[in-house]
Structure 1
Amino acid sequence: MVDESSDVSRHPAPRNLTMLLERVQHAGRHEADVSLEAILDAAGRRSFAPFLLIAGLITLAPLVGDIPGVPTLMASLVVLVAGQLLLGRQHLWLPRCLLYRRVSRPRFVRVVQWLKRPARWVDRLLKPRLMWLARPPAHLPVALVCLLIGLAMPPMELVPFTANGAGLALTLFGLALLAEDGLLVLIAYALTGGTLALVVAGLL
């Protein structure tokens, strides 16, 4: 079970991408390899947004997201979390076999440094607007759409570039919930629809 007491409770929840990246860069700092559990602990587990952001960023990131099987692994994370959110669970359960998946620290640090380049530019575009689309209970339709994305991600490995679209959609949903940016929610909905349409066309 995900233990909320493991959150970095002494610090406020991340409100933008730069803050999130600064936190996760130090995940499992004393370990040679970085586990998914350490990344999630550093990001914060008190809301749905960090899970979406981590899954989306890992799927998008070079050197990591292109590894065969990584989109499917992130899909498992999204399906488990979104499904439990829709069921109204207050404490999110994740299997140890998922949390213990690791990536080498040098690769992880390179990815985070690469993501920091556009992060400040992205953060300048974020602001609270159409907040009713990004606040409860609007997180429930977001969770439903993310569940559909997660279920579609394994076949996306067979259709070029669609996994990147899924990763971008998850990232946008996560940023939207963090910043309470409803416009970004609408963009993520549209991107999800286009990506799923490409997957269906590519598999037919």
Structure 2
Amino acid sequence: MTSAKQPVEHVLKETSILARRNRGGITVRRFAEELGQSSLPAVLAVPAMAVVTPLSGVPLFSSACGALICLISAQMLMGRQHLWIPGWLGRRRIKADTVRKGAAALRGSVRWLDRHSGKRLPVLTRQPFLMVIQAVCLICGALMPLLEIVPFSSSVLGGIVSLLAVAMLTRDGLIALLTLSALFAAAAAFAAGLV
């Protein structure tokens, strides 16, 4: 099983390895630097998937993940290849136990994603469509701190960003198309309900 065949599970394994090597915890900067060697979508997938786990119920966890998603998405939109993290966020430590629990909770979902993703409609994961995917990730990340008062509501946004990160990581335009179609249909239905 190569990382090329199972790119999402590879990200999860790398995350678990980082947690094992840094039992006392790891800073956000080091974590991002280690994962960022593969790609920015891989770094984006981690906080997005973390928000889908029960950890999203921890106060301010969703806000921190949302800020990280915003930061990564904005830099992707700017065309950066290497992630810049501000000092205040980079110095924050993540407990190794928290990382391990999150990775364990996601293992089944990640295997399912790897089995059901592939290079389909890859043109939808390239520019100019790629900018739309990255902009949606940015907006979802920005909304997460606002939804902090409603427990687990950020999990829906985390799920959207996770799927879009997987689409970018695997070059699967079909996943991106289905995710964005569902999101825009839900937004249209919500807007119609307000009118």
TM-score by length of 1: 0.79
- Deviating more after overlay: 169-178 vs 184-193: 184-193
Following superposition, the deviation at residue 91 of structure 1 comes to 4.0
Equivalent residue, structure 2, for 1:167: 158
Higher helix share: 2
Tell me the matched-pair count: 193
Equivalent residue, structure 2, for 1:98: 89
Following superposition, the deviation at residue 46 of structure 1 comes to 5.2
* Compared CA separation, residues 113 and 130, structure 1 to 2 (3 A): same
Instruction: Determine if contact 1:55/1:78 at 8 Å carries over to the other structure.
Output: yes
Equivalent residue, structure 2, for 1:43: 35
* Compared CA separation, residues 166 and 80, structure 1 to 2 (3 A): same
For 2:107 and 2:42, the matched residues in 1 are separated by 16
For 2:148 and 2:46, the matched residues in 1 are separated by 19
- Deviating more after overlay: 46-55 vs 124-133: 46-55
* Compared CA separation, residues 61 and 178, structure 1 to 2 (3 A): same
Partner of residue 182 from structure 1, selected from 154, 173, 180:
173
TM-score by length of 2: 0.82
Instruction: Determine if contact 1:172/1:185 at 8 Å carries over to the other structure.
Output: yes
* Compared CA separation, residues 14 and 200, structure 1 to 2 (3 A): farther
Letter in 2 for 1:151: A
Following superposition, the deviation at residue 198 of structure 1 comes to 9.0
Equivalent residue, structure 2, for 1:133: 124
For 1:114 and 1:135, the matched residues in 2 are separated by 31
For 1:144 and 1:107, the matched residues in 2 are separated by 29
**Residue identity (%):** 27
Equivalent residue, structure 1, for 2:103: 112
Indicate whether 1:74 and 2:65 are aligned. yes
RMSD: 3.1
Letter in 1 for 2:12: L
Secondary structure (helix, strand or coil) at the match of 2:32 reads helix
Note the residue ranges of structure 1 that are not aligned, 5 or more in a row. 1-10
Letter in 2 for 1:60: V
Secondary structure (helix, strand or coil) at the match of 2:26 reads strand
Instruction: Determine if contact 1:40/1:50 at 8 Å carries over to the other structure.
Output: no
Following superposition, the deviation at residue 186 of structure 1 comes to 1.5
Instruction: Determine if contact 2:44/2:72 at 8 Å carries over to the other structure.
Output: no
For 2:80 and 2:118, the matched residues in 1 are separated by 29
For 2:27 and 2:183, the matched residues in 1 are separated by 28
Note the residue ranges of structure 2 that are not aligned, 5 or more in a row. none
